[in-house]
Amino acid sequence: MNQSMLSSRTTLKRSITAQDIDKLIEKAFSKFDQDKSYRISRSEFPQVLKVLVDMIGAMEPTVDDSDDLFNLIDVNGDETLDKG
């Protein structure tokens, strides 16, 4: 799945700005990165994603959506999402 497919299946209550995304990332890491490693694992990601979509008012993604999105974000392929 590509980004356009994900966005076409996601209904938002309002437009999301780059600043909104930065704030969401900060909130996700502050809530889920308890050891302050600046990493979120693949196994933690569905829970993180659920919180984020709840915050922005989007429909809850399927397991396949979550996996596809994780793969898009995990640019170095190390099975973690790194902040920084």
What confidence tens digit (pLDDT) does each residue in 37-80 have? Answer: 888 889 888 988 888 888 778 888 899 989 998 998 888 999 99
Task: List the CATH number of the domain containing 75.
Answer: 1.10.238.10
pLDDT at 8 over 60: no
Residue 4: predicted pLDDT: 45
pTM of the model: 0.66
The tally of domains found in the chain comes to 1
User: Which are the contacts of 68, defined by CB distance < 8 A and separation ≥ 6?
Assistant: 1, 6
The span from the CA of 44 to the CA of 40, in Å, is: 6
Q: Identify the domain containing residue 15 by its residue range.
A: 3-82
- Picking from 45, 61, 60, 56, the residue whose alpha carbon sits closest to that of residue 21 is 56
In this prediction, residue 26 has a pLDDT band, given cuts at 50, 70 and 90, of confident
Taking CA atoms, 41 is separated from 32, 50, 57, 69, in Å, by 10, 15, 24, 13
